[in-house]
């Protein structure tokens, strides 16, 4: 853990990260703003309050692991890693460039601080289960955190991995569902409905919590509870808003991956400061 719990400090960091997300996606001319903005409060909490990590030792063997299974929202992770000191902020302006260490989806071979290469939905989560099982077999005490999108619950591999984690009683594994209710083709409920999410995970043998994924007090309480061994894996269903903080984007599926110009980004950033965020 990096500091005492200070919700106001975390909210300020999250707003700064939202600014970076908007500017890097605009600079790249492509990316996934909506889901990056919905996920960033959880990511802020993890990287600036919760995870046992050391940016000066990105390959420290006993560090906690974080797997961004919804890998298309890499801008949120990259912004946090840069701000946390894993690499220079100047790298953010190379997002999606040919040869850049910051590709459109996380690549553990290219980017310091990335613990697993992800992109194909559901597979990152399956890898997280494997990492947690590996820690158990090696007698390691680190925890594994995996963030999934709600649309990843439409993938069969997600539920196969969930079954395996419960079978092996992996209470060193904490999954977070970024439940922003939107995906690239529309609202999740209209594509393939995934609710009731909490009842499904409970039926699969997981310890389940459901919170407001933008409320740092609730986020903190949920992760503190997840630290307590219960003999089964943990899932935190974080109800979030697509495009959180930018009024023009909020709860609009079309902003899943819609490009925008640097000039538009500055308008969006103005909205962040008009209404506040987190």
Phi, psi of 58 (to 5 degrees): -60, -20
Q: Is 259 helix (H, G, I), strand (E, B) or coil?
A: coil
Give the predicted TM-score (pTM) of the model.
Answer: 0.96
> Do the domain assignments include residue 252?
yes
Measured at the CA of 187, the angle between CA 181 and CA 192, to 5 degrees, comes to 90
- Residue 234's domain comprises 7-275
Per-residue pLDDT averaged across 154-180, rounded? 98
- So what's the pLDDT on residue 1? 53
For residue range 50-89, list pLDDT tens digits in order: 999 999 999 999 999 999 999 999 999 999 999 999 999 9
Which structure tokens are listed for 51?
Answer: 């995870």
Per-residue pLDDT averaged across 133-147, rounded? 98
- So what's the pLDDT on residue 275? 64
Contact, 118 vs 127, CB < 8 A? yes
CATH number at residue 260: 3.40.50.970
> Do the domain assignments include residue 40?
yes
Residue 204 vs residues 196, 200, 201: alpha-carbon distances, Å: 13, 6, 5
Number of domains comprising the chain = 1
Percent of the chain past pLDDT 90, that is, above it, reads 96
> Do the domain assignments include residue 216?
yes
- So what's the pLDDT on residue 229? 85
User: Could you give the angle at which helices 74-84 and 7-28 cross, rounded to 10 degrees?
Assistant: 120
Contact, 268 vs 249, CB < 8 A? yes
> Do the domain assignments include residue 134?
yes
Question: How many residues appear in the chain?
Answer: 278
Q: Identify the burial level of 231 via C-beta atoms within 10 angstroms of its C-beta, where 0-12 means exposed, 13-18 middle and 19 or more buried.
A: exposed
> Do the domain assignments include residue 237?
yes
Give the chain's mean pLDDT. 96
Q: Is the pLDDT of residue 278 over 60?
A: no
For residue range 172-226, list pLDDT tens digits in order: 999 999 999 999 999 999 999 999 999 999 999 999 999 999 999 999 999 999 9
Among candidate residues 245, 249, 255, the one with its CA nearest the CA of residue 276: 245
> Do the domain assignments include residue 2?
no
Q: Is the pLDDT of residue 277 over 60?
A: no
Per-residue pLDDT averaged across 101-123, rounded? 97
> Do the domain assignments include residue 20?
yes
In sequence order, the 6+-apart residues with CB closer than 8 A to the CB of 51 are 1, 63, 64, 66, 145
> Do the domain assignments include residue 127?
yes
Confidence of residue 230 (pLDDT cuts 50, 70, 90): confident
Among candidate residues 59, 104, 50, 58, the one with its CA nearest the CA of residue 77: 104
Contact, 128 vs 164, CB < 8 A? no
Among candidate residues 132, 141, 115, the one with its CA nearest the CA of residue 168: 132
């Amino acid at each position: 853990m990096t500091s005492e719990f200070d919700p106001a400090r975390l909210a300020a960091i999250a707003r700064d990260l939202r600014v970076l997300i908007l500017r890097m996606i605009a600079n790249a001319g492509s990316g996934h703003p909506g889901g990056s903005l919905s996920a960033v409060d959880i990511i802020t909490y993890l990287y600036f309050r919760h995870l046992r990590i050391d940016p000066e030792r990105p390959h420290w063997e006993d560090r906690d692991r974080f797997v961004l299974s919804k890998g298309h929202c890499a801008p949120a992770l990259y912004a946090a890693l840069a701000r946390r000191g894993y690499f220079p902020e100047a790298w953010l302006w190379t997002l999606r460039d040919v040869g850049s260490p910051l590709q459109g989806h996380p690549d553990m071979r290219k980017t310091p601080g990335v613990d697993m290469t992800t992109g194909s939905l559901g597979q990152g989560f399956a890898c997280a289960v494997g990492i947690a099982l590996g820690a158990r077999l090696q007698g390691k005490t680190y925890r594994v955190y995996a963030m999934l999108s709600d649309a990843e619950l439409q993938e069969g591999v997600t539920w196969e991995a969930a079954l395996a984690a419960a079978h092996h009683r992996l209470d060193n594994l904490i999954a977070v569902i970024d439940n922003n209710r939107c995906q690239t083709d529309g609202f999740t409920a209209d594509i393939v409905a995934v609710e009731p999410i909490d009842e499904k995970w409970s039926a699969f043998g997981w310890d389940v919590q459901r919170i407001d994924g933008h409320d740092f007090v609730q986020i903190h309480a949920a992760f503190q509870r997840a630290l307590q061994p219960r003999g089964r894996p943990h899932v935190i269903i974080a109800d979030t808003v697509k495009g959180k903080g930018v009024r023009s984007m909020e709860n609009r599926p079309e902003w899943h991956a819609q490009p925008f110009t640097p000039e538009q980004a500055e308008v969006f950033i103005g909205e962040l400061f008009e209404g506040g965020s987190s």
